[in-house]
Amino acid sequence: GAGVSQSPSNKVTEKGKDVELRCDPISGHTALYWYRQSLGQGLEFLIYFQGNSAPDKSGLPSDRFSAERTGGSVSTLTIQRTQQEDSAVYLCASSSTLTSEAFFGQGTRLTVV
Partner 1 sequence: KQEVTQIPAALSVPEGENLVLNCSFTDSAIYNLQWFRQDPGKGLTSLLLIQSSQREQTSGRLNASLDKSSGRSTLYIAASQPGDSATYLCAGDTGGGNKLTFGTGTQLKVEL
Minimum distance from CB of 78 to partner 1 (Å)? 20
Q: Does 91 bind partner 1 (CB under 8 A)?
A: yes
Q: Does 84 bind partner 1 (CB under 8 A)?
A: no
Measured between alpha carbons, how far is 62 from 26 in angstroms, rounded to an integer?
Answer: 28
Amino acid at 85: E
Residues 11-70 binding partner 1 (CB under 8 A) are: 31, 33, 35, 42-43, 45, 48, 50-51, 53, 56
64: number of Cβ within 10 Å: 14
- Cβ distance 74 to 67 under 8 Å? no
Looking at beta carbons only, is 73 or 106 nearer to partner 1? 106
Looking at beta carbons only, is 98 or 113 nearer to partner 1? 98
Measured between alpha carbons, how far is 37 from 79 in angstroms, rounded to an integer?
Answer: 15
Q: Does 10 bind partner 1 (CB under 8 A)?
A: no
Measured between alpha carbons, how far is 80 from 40 in angstroms, rounded to an integer?
Answer: 24
Which parts of this chain interact with partner 1 (CB under 8 A)?
A: 31, 33, 35, 42-43, 45, 48, 50-51, 53, 56, 91, 93, 97, 99-107
